[in-house]
Amino acid sequence: MTDNKIVELTPFRADLIRSLSRRGERILAANDLADEVAALEPLEAYYIVREIGLDQALPILLELSQEQLEACVDLDCWNRYDFAVDSLDEWLTAFALAGPEALAKAYFSLDYVVQLLYLAQTVTVYDPDTDQVPQEEKGKDTPRAATPDGFFLLDVKNEVALKTHPFSLLDALYQYDPSASHRLLSDSRVDLPTQIEEEALRFRNGRMQDIGFVPPEEAVVLFSRPAIRQPLPRPQKPADSSLTRLPSVYAGPLIATSLLQQALSLITDKERLSGLEQEIVWAINSAVIAYGEHARDIKQITEIAERVRDTISLGMESLLAQKGNCLLDGAAAKASDLLDVWSITDLFRHGFDATKGLQQEARQSLEKPQFRAWYDLVETNQSDEPGDRLERAFVTALLGRHSLSSGYNPAHAEEVKAFACLADIDAAHLRLKKLVARICR
């Protein structure tokens, strides 16, 4: 039996295959669609919808639970600390395709503070009995309207162009539940929009942390030097009993051969393996935040998952090299042993630390006047040779907060990937040395 066949039979490989089977197209074609969607974790549901596109995902959207939909909105409708009304409008527009009732049910299932926030940023609500209602602007695109119960007058705030008109949304809400709609408009008049947004952000951040998306100030720990002293062996049982499955967008990069994949393939205890998979999910989620990316870009998220995979593998190899272990002799088994001691986050940090020498060497190279002059040359004066552009991209990637490999794809010079092994690091050192020598000769 070949090694490849052994890998296919491992519990980790089986987990990856199950994750990859939970893709949108397969779920859409399932006879038991409701059960399939109900079985998805919130993070899985979000990535599946994003992978197939909101315009194609309506059958799945209609089956989302409140927790799943809240996670989708939390991930998709905030730009760091600012609520993105236009992003929520995309989701509401998708639900509106199924009719007013589906739109209203989706809206009422959102966090109540988010409901208030959306209205606060899209409409001005007047109570004619207590408010001094200003004269309506002449020539306004959307005339002022009264709510169906006659209690409120509404003006649209034309700051953002929306596909689903706020009045259409409110009509659907009043059709579905008049008393809840009245209360919603009454409450939206009580607090200032900034106060509502602050409260909504606080609740959102709490839910995000529950699925592994920590605040930026915590996520940057990935880019810090790891502890030098080896920690004590850690508990074999996962710290959190509510284990997180690998979304398919994370599982794809992990199925490729890497030292991390080989180490995980040797673990047969399913509970232990589930705990490590949860750590990987959380490490990728933290990396998304630390790199300053948005979860809605599936291509970018896949690339970040690949970076995390490779950086963890580099961290494993670096630790083994520090101990003087021969990587050619049972590397996977030795790397698997590291998982009993080091957390996934710590292994990433060791991989990051292994790139610091490259970054320092690149910075020192820029202290040479000739090399600095070459690097800072304005684009219009740069050489037309493709190789020159590749070398600049190579140096630029080394100088980033996390030194990455670049300048290897002639068709896309700025494309980047993480260093996955010590041989990659050695090759980059040699490339930089030769480049500096050529420029500064």
What's at 22, amino acid-wise?
A: R
Where are the domains positioned within the chain?
Answer: 22-210, 217-352, 358-439
Residue 48: count of CB within 10 angstroms of its CB: 24
Residue 157 has what pLDDT? 86
Q: For tokens 């300053």, what's the residue?
A: 292
Residue 261 has what pLDDT? 95
| 3-state SS assignment for residue 417 | strand
Residue 21 has what pLDDT? 81
Residue 247 has what pLDDT? 92
Residue 235 has what pLDDT? 54
Residue 97 has what pLDDT? 96
CA distance 122 to 143: 14
Residue 2 has what pLDDT? 41
CA distance 286 to 346: 13
**Exposure string over 141-150, b if 16+ CB within 10 A, otherwise e:** eeebbebeee
CA distance 83 to 111: 13
Residue 9 has what pLDDT? 61
pTM comes to 0.88
> Nearest 5°: phi and psi at 156?
-85, 135
> Nearest 5°: phi and psi at 163?
-80, -35
Q: What is the DSSP string of 133-149?
A: PPPPPTT-SS--EE-TT
**Exposure string over 241-260, b if 16+ CB within 10 A, otherwise e:** eeebbbbbbbbbbbbeebbb
Rg for the chain, CA atoms, rounded: 26
- Alpha-carbon distance values, 420 to 212, 355, 439 (Å): 24, 10, 28
Residue 312's nearest CA partner among 345, 334, 279 is: 345
Low-confidence residues in the chain, pLDDT < 70: 1-9, 138-142, 159, 232-244, 325-329
